[in-house]
Amino acid sequence: MARLQNRPGAGRRRVSHSMDSVLTEAVALLDEAGVPALTFRALAERLGGGVASIYWYVANKEELLDRATDHVIGAVLADVEKLPATGDPIDDLRAMAMTLFDAIVDRPWLGPYFMRNTNIQGNSLRMYERLGRETLRLDLDARQRFHAVSAVVGVVVGSAVDMGQEPPKEVLDGAVDREEFLGRYAQAWRELDPAEFPFVHEIVEEFDGHDDVDQFRSALELTLAGLRLQAGA
Amino acid sequence: MARLQNRPGAGRRRVSHSMDSVLTEAVALLDEAGVPALTFRALAERLGGGVASIYWYVANKEELLDRATDHVIGAVLADVEKLPATGDPIDDLRAMAMTLFDAIVDRPWLGPYFMRNTNIQGNSLRMYERLGRETLRLDLDARQRFHAVSAVVGVVVGSAVDMGQEPPKEVLDGAVDREEFLGRYAQAWRELDPAEFPFVHEIVEEFDGHDDVDQFRSALELTLAGLRLQAGA
DNA sequence: CACAGCATCGAACGTTGTTCTATCGTAGCG
DNA sequence: CGCTACGATAGAACAACGTTCGATGCTGTG
């Protein structure tokens, strides 16, 4: 029996891709089941082509993730630019941060990759610029402006990472919903010694069933209040 | 020739471990070269034993990372508890957050895993309690306290994640130092169109050679200022 | 029609987390 | 002293992954 070894490209119908189709399908996989679902094999199957072809468009998986991230940030940037200006830079900053956060709520996989490599992520850089431009209207020096934007981005990413950590996988399967997952945690907290954990007992009812968006908004509000104070506005 | 297949445990001298030795060596690997360096095979070799033995102590890699994280957070917690109380809860909160952040600066791999699973991470939970206890002395309601601690932890983790992202690997190899790595980024930014990126140009000199600790401290200060305002103190 | 080079592809490689099953070593017991 | 049960250890095998290799198809240009 003849060995058909090392005869690549024989038999199968060829398929032609494009950077855009690669990223679109990559994002689709990420949306469906997060980062673990984005494998070169799964992506190739979805594109109807071979695994190695993808390497013509991206050098490695890291670049694939960076480009996929920037791909969706492009749409978010468009949303941000459509936001009406209120005249108050801090109000505008809040609106932009909320828009950005909403996007990450929709796509929890975004969190860890957002703003990771502005060389590749051109839209992320534009987003950074857009946020920073608001600080130009505040009475701050360059360093304060730099730190202010870093702080706002930090709040967004910090909350996003906190949220984005996949619940062991029962939730992804749909076997257990988020509510129950949180509830189990809360129950474990309630059973702690109240003398040793007074604070945890104080807030456990707030934690149980809490809304991530509320949590984020509060954190953002604290930062913005501090910023307003700093700018004397 | 006799096949020596499927005769495990034959020949090699047996080694006995302990939860503590497993975690200590795991942390050593993480400290040396980050998360990618912590493989079950590398860890087994370091312990002088077999790969599968580690699975008697932890169910999987996730749990290994959670336990390793909590292992070092235990030491940080001890540092935090040694901190002198100033009488001002917000000043104490700042000191604790700084201590926590310093630990993450020393061990960048900590960032993404800190506070991930308080079921396993008992020390992280105690740290959370410790931070929260300061808010009990502020004039806030339970929800505000919950959000305040979340915000502070968010700032720490957000900055830590931002910092912890391994520079492509030239820096890890020591071929390029952090200074030059930042400088290259800054250079790329300087070459952008000033009309399109006025903010980036405004802050590029601040970015170049900036100190992560400064950046973190500023973000923390904004949050704490907002908190002080909220508590009316 | 030949050629160049862009784009695609199957197969193979090395590494990883994890599981399977066999084995060792000792504490308890008669 | 021997036997047994069980806590603990171990090598080999497996499936999945990212990545590389070299060959092959396709298409526009001369």
Structure tokens at B84: 């002198």
Mean pLDDT of chain A: 90
Residue A167 DSSP symbol: -
H helices of chain B, where? 19-33, 40-47, 61-82, 89-106, 122-135, 142-164, 170-173, 178-190, 198-207, 212-231
Return mean pLDDT, chain B: 90
CATH of B87-231, one of 1.10.10.10, 1.10.357.10, 1.20.140.10, 2.120.10.30: 1.10.357.10
Name the CATH superfamily, with its identifier, for domain A85-231: Tetracycline Repressor, domain 2 (1.10.357.10)
pLDDT at B68: 97
A188 SS3 class: helix
Identify all chain A residues contacting B196, using CB atoms and an 8 Å cutoff.
129
pLDDT (average), residues B194-218? 95
The letter for the amino acid at B190 is R
Residue B35's Cβ-count burial label (10 Å; 0-12, 13-18, 19+) is middle
On the question of pLDDT at B1 being above 70, the answer is no
Distance CA B111, CA A18 (A): 36
Whether CB of B48 is under 7 Å from strand D: the answer is yes
Q: What pLDDT does residue A2 have?
A: 37
The tokens describing B5, both together, are 């297949």
User: Sorting pLDDT into bands at 50, 70 and 90, what band is B161?
Assistant: confident
pLDDT of residue B168: 59
pLDDT bucket at A178, cuts 50 / 70 / 90: confident
Q: Which candidate, B24, B148, B131, B4, places its Cα nearest to that of B77? A: B131
Two structure tokens written together for B202: 């405004």
First to last CA, chain A: 83
What confidence score (pLDDT) does residue B227 get?
Answer: 98
Q: What is the DSSP letter of B192?
A: S
Tell me: pLDDT of B75 over 60. Answer: yes
A82 sits within 7 Å of strand C by its CB:
no
* Residue B8 confidence (pLDDT): 46
Distance CA B199, CA A136 (A): 7
pLDDT at B57: 97
Percent of chain B with pLDDT over 70: 89
Question: CB-based burial of residue B232 (10 Å sphere; 0-12 exposed, 13-18 middle, 19+ buried)?
Answer: exposed
pLDDT category, B169, cuts 50, 70, 90? Answer: low
Mean pLDDT value of segment B148-155: 96
pLDDT tens for A104-124 read 989 999 988 988 887 788 999
d(CA B68, CA B61): 10
Predicted local confidence at residue A115, as pLDDT: 86
The values of phi and psi at residue B16, to 5°, are -110, 135
pLDDT at position B97 over 60: yes
Domain boundaries, chain A: 85-231
User: Predicted confidence band at A6 (pLDDT cuts at 50, 70, 90)?
Assistant: very low
List all nucleotides in chain D with at least one atom under 7 A from a protein Cβ: 8-13, 16-26
Closest partner CB to B119 (pick from A188, A225, A230): A188
Mean pLDDT over residues B76-92, rounded? 97
Q: Once rounded to an integer, what is the mean pLDDT over residues B166-180?
A: 66
Size of interface A-B (CB pairs under 8 A): 183
CA A30 to mean position of chain CA atoms: 11
- Minimum-distance nucleotide, CA of A37 to C1': D17
Q: Would you call A199 and B136 a contact, using CB atoms and an 8 Å cutoff?
A: yes
Chain A 22-51 residues whose Cβ is under 7 Å from strand D: 38-42, 51
Encode pLDDT of B33-66 as tens digits. Answer: 999 999 999 999 999 999 999 999 999 999 999 9
Q: What is the mean pLDDT of residues B180-200?
A: 93
**Dist CA A134 CA A96 (whole Å):** 10
Contacts of A115 in chain B (CB under 8 A): 162
ipTM score for this prediction: 0.90
Each residue of A28-86: pLDDT tens digit?
Answer: 999 999 999 999 999 999 999 999 999 999 999 999 999 999 999 999 999 999 999 99
DSSP code, position B110: G
- Say if the Cβ atoms of B155 and A157 lie within 8 Å: no
pLDDT at residue B10 above 60?
no
